[in-house]
Structure formats: structure tokens, C-alpha cells
Amino acid sequence: MSIYPKNSVIMAPLAGYTDLPYRHSLRRHGCYYAFTEMVDTGSLIYAKKVTRNFLDRADDESWLGVQIVGAKIDEVEKAVDIINQREFSVLDLNLGCPTPKVVRKGKGGGLGRNPDLAAKILELMVKKSKFPVTAKIRIQDTEDPASTIYLSKKLESAGAQTITVHGRLLKAIYSGPCYTDIINAVRESVKVQVIANGGVMDYDSYVKLKNDTGCSEIMIARGAMGNPWIFQGIINGNDVYPTTEELSDEIESHVLETIDYYGEEMAMKLSRKFILDYLGGRGYTGKLKCKVATVSSLYEFKSFMEEVRKGPTERYKTWAKKFL
């Protein structure tokens, strides 16, 4: 039985991004399948408050997955016990995070290089979790699919109900081509549902990833950063370009909810990165974008948004008319 209905579009778990306010922004524009931020098992066990907040789920979130990253059997077991006290739609194991400090500890992409341990950990998760267990991996080789297929089959045998495959090597991080032929080879080699991930930035690249991999379900990551409208575009079959008013309204809604959730001081620090994402590539001046780093209060934010609402430069508007 598949976890996701055919043609589902899933938002990836993004560390530092997919918290509750961020997910609400995505859901306003058609995202149904979403994940918490990646949760480190050690941090969860030792009860760092900010990590426990990663597990928060709003009443209006009909579907929410949680993803953990860890490589120690005892830590994973304790983390699953904590997660079982909440309600989620799936529990996912991260075997693809490329962050050096994660990989050095044998977690994330480091665990993906150790199929036997990965299978043992996932088997434990299946035994302990009250939720369906899934896995997210990266390809292991760009030319020969054998090693990626081997890892996938080990996870399938351990009980993974879905495997998401990011079509880039660990060392590539998020750059370079997505090796869709390797994802396709995995899909053809396992019986469980395979989700394709990598390089979806708009409607056309979404369609291409589907066609090239043969996967009907797709996971989006960086393509949704600053562009929650990507989900609307996929649903409608055509990219959505927000007006200046729509863009400004979304930024304000997102930041104000972040303030409600974290408090003003922390929220303004956390908001800077995604405000820049919203403004990126939309014709705003470098001077205005540099100002984001100085916004530290709600008062300053409201003043900043007055500038945003004036819209992009006239030069950009003239250029954009040729394409929109």
C-alpha cells in the first residue's frame, strides 16, 4: 500500500526552514504533504527546547511527517519513544543530509554509506514506531545504479514503506545535474513507492523530473524557498508569478506568524533568510536586500515592508513584461 496517492507533491524536510510558520506559508498555496524540520535524535533526547518545538503540529495540519537524523541505535530508539507521544502521518529516516558536521558523525549521508547499519536502524524504527516508516536517501554513484539499488533494497527489506531518492551525490550538495536514470533504476528495482527528488524549481522542471524518472510522486525542496506559489503552479499546470501586493502580503503573513510563534527578537533573526528568499530574483535592489540584515524589530520590519510594497525597479518591470 502506497503512502502517497498518485501524483502527490511533497515538501521536503528542510533544517532551519520547515517549522510551523513556514509550513503555513506553503499550505496557503496548495501544499498538503509537508514535513517538520529534520530532527537530530541526540538533541531530541537531551530535551533542547528548540528541538522539541520542531515537533509542534498545528490543528489545521491534516498531514505532517517527521524526519529524524541519527546513527546510534540507542538514541534512535529513545527518539522514537518521544515522537510516539505526538501524532504524525509518517516517520522518516534521513540518509542523505550532506552537512559535514552531520556526515562526520555517521548520520545523514554518512549513514547512507553504511547500508547494513542503516537497515538495522530502520528495522528498529519499524518495530518501535506507531507511524509508518519511510526513508530518504541520495544516489551513491552517478554511473552505476547498483550501490543505490543495494541500499534501497536493504531499506525495503527492513520495512521502509516509501523511499525518496535525491538524484545527486553527497559531495554535490545541491548543485549540478540530477541523475534521473539512477532514480529510475531504483524505482524499477524495488516494490515500494519511490519518490523522486532533486532540481525542481518550477513547473517545467517538475514535469521533466516525473518524465525522466518514471516517478509519479515528487518531492520539492529549494524550489519552494521564497516561492510557496510553486505548489499552486503545479496544481494549475502553469507557473504562478505573484504580484507585488501578493508577494508583500505573503511576506508579512509569514513574518508576523513567526513573531507570534517565537517572540519578536528571535523571530526577526530567523526571518531574515526567508525574507531574502522571497525578494531574490524579483527585481529588488541590492541595497534593499542588504537592509534585511538590519531589521531587528516589528517596527523596523513594517518600515522595511513599505519599501517592498513599492515594487521592483522599473528596469526589472520592463524586462519582465517580455516573459510574463
What cell does 79 get?
A: 527518539
Residues 226, 232, 238, 244, CA torsion sign:
negative
What is the C-alpha to C-alpha distance for residues 255 and 233, in angstroms, rounded to an integer? 23
CA-nearest of 61, 58, 13, 53 to 36 is 13
What cell does 103 get?
A: 556526515
What cell does 133 get?
A: 516508516
What is the C-alpha to C-alpha distance for residues 33 and 54, in angstroms, rounded to an integer? 16
Provide the annotated active-site residues. Answer: 97
Q: Give the alpha-carbon dihedral of 130, 191, 203, 27, to 10 degrees.
A: -10
What is the C-alpha to C-alpha distance for residues 309 and 278, in angstroms, rounded to an integer? 13
Distance between first and last Cα of the chain: 42
